Structure 1
Amino acid sequence: MFFLPRVIINKDKQGALSKAGAARDKGAAPAAGEESHEGHAHAPGEGHDAEEVAHVEATPQQLGEIQLLRRQFTSEQNNGNRLKLASQLGEKYAAISKYDSAGYFYEQAAEIRPGETAYQKAADQYFEAFSFAATEDRSKVLGEKARGLYEKVLKNNPANLDAKTNIAMTYIASESPMQGITLLREVIATDPNNEKALFNLGILSIQSTQYDKAVERFEKLVSINPKHVQGNFYLGVALAESGKKQEAAAAFKKAKSLSDDPGFQASVDNELSKLQ
């Protein structure tokens, strides 16, 4: 199994595209002081963001700060103060990888002071939670939440290609994958060198066993950004699947030289061993 990106696209038994990962549903506003258990900081209705990938334990100090801020936020009536508190809570939750809670509070801030930046900050956190969602139900809820906020970003700035690309990925993980692919192609049509869109289209080409297209996408990506670690890695994967072992080995070795992460290095070594 090769090294996977955060947003993992899998084929289900019916051949549809779905996504694996964890997070919370569309819960109501978190009530103050209701962290689930010691060492964690979850609002009611939350799951465990990044539990299998990047789970971060909250320290007693962080828990105390979050509890205090939530009590203050719940009782505060002044919108200016609520805006400040919501932003602080978003930062605190993001720092401990509770991306769904971070998204919730950044969304509260955006409701007080709407705008492209405010909506994107909330959307990005929900998208991060979506990227780690462990079940299809969580994925659907968080994907829809992120998508709705990104659509508000685009209403403020239709040229925001990052928002459009992330919307595409939420569709690809849904029951409407072609809608997402269409959006990614629109991004490429507007910006042929868009790294995120090229990467995601390359991943989708690998997933659908269109390895020639994947090679094309990743070759362009690494020509634009030679130090793109996963771009080089997946170029190696696509080349290996195409039977081009020598070129694949070169791509894997390039990827390995760009990252010191032990897990990634092990994944590269595993792929290289398959070429022997």
Structure 2
Amino acid sequence: MKKSQIIAIAIGIVAVAILFSLPRVVVDNDEGVTEMSETEQSEPNSPVGMHEPEVDESIKADINTLLVKLESEDNKEKFVTFADSIASLYFQASKYDSAGFYYERALEKSTNLERLEKTGNAYYEAYTFALDEKKIVRLAEKTRTYLNQILEKDPKRLDLKTKVAMTYVSSTNPMQGITMLREVLEADPKNEDALFNMGILSMQSGQYKRAAERFEELVQYHPDNLQGQFYLAVSYFESKQTNKAKKQFGKVKDMTMDQMILSSVESYLERL
């Protein structure tokens, strides 16, 4: 779950609510994997068009113009150019599933590593926001299809391996994802994404002391990671480490002027 990610979780009270509603199966413990209930929410199944009412009008107009050109284009190079441009506009509008769909269309005509990565990344971003169980499975599979092709050629891409790992933790084989994250940390003990995601997974399973340990590692190596600092404070709070929680929330307050974050911090402090 990339900061991106991660994975894609806003900071604040709303963020914490979203965190615990995400449909994931987890987690990082010595015994194995703990299954959590999944939240289901009906979402359209079509990968394209489902977001268009939310797209900015100027971007939508550009997309529609390019779509007309795309569907009537016989030249392979021009077709790829139009498809890539549509995908980029959807990505710009944070409509990641539609971006992935058009990157895929470009791949049908011309395959290269850069486009494979863009396609996998677009589907991963869409995956991090998905709530419908069937859609989660589909987007996870799409992510793995494209990013694994990059990893086959360049196994050292730990950033992509972390993303692939996160698609497994909500699958029927969640331990594979945990194992991959541990492999990332074996190769790079300071890996920001892997440490963050292991902390998030521990939070999701209610292992707050373990989550705190992960976030402590994260902020030790990456002190500017605001999400990590915030979730460290929350982990202290939930694990009843009151003094540490007060100190850590104070540190978060000193790191940002964002009113949503500050409001969330104050809410926690009032409960201490």
**Fold-level match, TM-score > 0.5?**
yes
1:8 to partner: Cα distance: 3.3
Q: Which residue matches 2:157?
A: 160
Q: Which whole-Å CA distance do the structure 2 matches of 1:87 and 1:255 have between them?
A: 40
Q: Which whole-Å CA distance do the structure 2 matches of 1:18 and 1:183 have between them?
A: 22
Q: Which whole-Å CA distance do the structure 2 matches of 1:271 and 1:130 have between them?
A: 30
Q: 1:125 to 1:252 in 2, by over 3 A?
A: same
Secondary structure of the corresponding residue to residue 3 of structure 1: helix
Conservation of the 8 A alpha-carbon contact between 2:212 and 2:235: yes
Conservation of the 8 A alpha-carbon contact between 2:195 and 2:218: yes
Alignment of 1:1-276 (within 5 A): 3-4=15-16, 8=22, 10=24, 15-16=35-36, 18=38, 25=45, 42-43=48-49, 47-48=50-51, 57-275=54-272
Deviations 1:34-71 (A, max 9, x none): xxxxxxxx53xxx449xxxxxx8333332221111011
Q: Which residue matches 2:9?
A: none
2:99 is matched by which residue type in structure 1?
A
TM-score (structure 2 length as normaliser): 0.82
Deviations 1:192-225 (A, max 9, x none): 1110100010111122232332122111100111
Q: Which whole-Å CA distance do the structure 2 matches of 1:17 and 1:170 have between them?
A: 17
Conservation of the 8 A alpha-carbon contact between 1:8 and 1:19: yes
1:178 is matched by which residue type in structure 2?
M
RMSD: 2.7
Identity among equivalent pairs (%): 37
Conservation of the 8 A alpha-carbon contact between 1:205 and 1:213: yes
1:188 to partner: Cα distance: 0.6
1:153 to partner: Cα distance: 1.7
Q: 1:192 to 1:247 in 2, by over 3 A?
A: same
Q: 1:242 to 1:62 in 2, by over 3 A?
A: closer
| Higher relative contact order, structure no. (Cα contacts within 8 Å, ≥ 6 residues apart) | 2
Q: Which whole-Å CA distance do the structure 2 matches of 1:76 and 1:204 have between them?
A: 46
- The structure that is helix-richer by fraction is 2
TM-score (structure 1 length as normaliser): 0.81
Q: 1:22 to 1:255 in 2, by over 3 A?
A: farther
1:226 to partner: Cα distance: 0.8
Deviations 1:120-171 (A, max 9, x none): 1111111111111131121111111112111112123111111111111111
Q: 1:128 to 1:20 in 2, by over 3 A?
A: farther
- Matched residue count: 251
